[in-house]
Amino acid sequence: MKHKKIRINWDDLEAAFDNPNEELVYYLDLVEGHVVLEGEGEEDDFDEDDEHYDTSPPAPSAPPADNTRLYIDRLTNDTKLDWIRGFLADTDDLAQEFVAKLEAALQSDTPAQGVIEVMRETPEGKDRWYVYRSDCLHDLIQAWLQKNEITPTDDPPWSDSTD
């Protein structure tokens, strides 16, 4: 099947994948390439004067029947925790105390909260984590686009032009 070519609003697509608000549902408009937001609190996430955003009532997480919008999968806590494990495995020059605290947080009853607390205590590690996390998020977006056979008309701002 031929990939659909559309111009994507990269900032909005990245925000949609990364937004933890479970009351919001995001779709990629397959005609215009912008992100459509549905759900309670949507007026807080995008400008009210932008006519491109759908303001219809909240919808279930299933895609609409019109086939012009594609549901954007929510980033799960399990995925985020897997990324933390990958971060620890891929980065061998982190301070041992930081690594030990993160490993302990991952083994706790509330690993997501534990990881957040460790990051708050260690700014250097937190900065490195956010760079790693950003790369993981971008890889996830690229895989999602490929899986759904969407070809952007322009490269994402985070890619280098030598790819």
Per-residue model confidence as pLDDT tens digits over 52-96:
444 444 444 554 446 788 999 888 888 989 999 999 988 778 888
Q: Over its length of 163 residues, how does the chain's per-residue pLDDT go in tens digits? A: 455 689 999 999 999 999 888 888 999 998 888 899 887 554 544 444 444 444 444 444 554 446 788 999 888 888 989 999 999 988 778 888 888 999 999 999 999 889 989 989 988 888 899 999 999 999 999 999 999 999 999 999 988 654 4
What's the CA gap between 83 and 15, in Å, rounded?
18
**pLDDT value, residue 75:** 87
pLDDT averaged over the chain?
81
**pLDDT value, residue 40:** 59
